């Protein structure tokens, strides 16, 4: 997989994850915010990315979502596996076995890169991560601060307040572009009828 634009596939993946694992509030806005901030909404080079997929899921987060026996919700994993087995036409697909976690290195010895980079896998993992948070999903105004506190991008741990302010503005700007494109597509779609 080379540098490309996975945004159209990402749109479908996010909608599928939200529909399969619904909550009190739609997870679509925060999932779009996360993927916008992390990978410019799927416009990135997975070969040079530090983590996996358009949501940039790192090994520790993957373990926590899909393998940590203290946190994993087996029924959600089963639902996701059933859905993705059909989508990928792969009866043995298992989202919890895409990598072998090595606790001593806090990394993976063995990773199915194709699947870990897949937008559908990333969207499902992200939706399951969001469901691990007992708090409510944010409204539109709270997306940036929720992303910073819950997703915890590396820059959020910096002591440099100017850098953090710049990163916040960048993340919000990337999301605003996606939101603007969504509204253009919606307006064009309604004009077609």
Domains of the chain by residue range = 4-185
pLDDT in tens, 49-74: 888 999 999 888 999 999 998 889 99
Confidence tier at 123 by pLDDT (50, 70, 90): very high
- The pLDDT of 19-47, averaged and rounded, is 94
In contact, 170 and 177? CB cutoff 8 Å: no
Q: Where are the alpha helices (DSSP H) in the chain?
A: 7-20, 28-39, 59-62, 74-88, 113-116, 119-132, 143-146, 161-191
Which has the higher per-residue pLDDT, 165 or 5?
165
Tell me if residue 100 falls in helix, strand or coil: strand
Confidence tier at 186 by pLDDT (50, 70, 90): low
Q: What percent of the chain shows pLDDT beyond 70?
A: 93
Question: What's the CA gap between 33 and 21, in Å, rounded?
Answer: 18
- The pLDDT of 31-37, averaged and rounded, is 97
Which has the higher per-residue pLDDT, 175 or 8?
175
Query: pTM score, two decimals?
Result: 0.90
Mean pLDDT, rounded, of the chain: 90
Q: Which residues, at least 6 apart from 38, have a Cβ–Cβ distance to it below 8 Å?
A: 54, 55, 56, 151, 153
Q: Give CA separation, 174 vs 25, 41, 50, 94, 113, in Å.
A: 22, 8, 19, 32, 26
Residue 192: is its pLDDT beyond 80? no
């Amino acid at each position: 997989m080379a540098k490309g634009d996975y945004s159209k596939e990402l749109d479908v993946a996010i909608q599928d994850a939200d529909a399969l694992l619904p909550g009190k509030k739609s997870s679509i806005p925060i999932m779009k915010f996360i993927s916008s901030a992390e990978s410019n909404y799927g416009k990135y080079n997975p070969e040079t990315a530090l983590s996996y997929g358009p949501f940039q899921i790192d090994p520790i987060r993957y373990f926590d979502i899909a393998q940590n026996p203290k946190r994993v919700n087996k029924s959600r994993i089963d639902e996701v596996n059933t859905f993705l087995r059909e989508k990928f036409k792969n009866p043995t697909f298992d989202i919890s076995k895409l990598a072998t976690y090595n606790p001593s290195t806090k990394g993976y010895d063995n990773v199915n890169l194709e699947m870990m980079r897949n937008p559908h896998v990333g969207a499902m993992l992200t939706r399951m991560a969001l469901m691990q948070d007992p708090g409510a999903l944010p409204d539109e105004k709270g997306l940036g601060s929720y992303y910073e506190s819950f997703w915890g991008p590396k820059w959020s741990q910096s002591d440099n307040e100017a850098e953090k302010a710049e990163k916040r503005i960048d993340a919000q700007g990337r999301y605003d572009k996606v939101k603007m494109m969504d509204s253009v597509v919606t307006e064009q779609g309604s004009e077609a009828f």
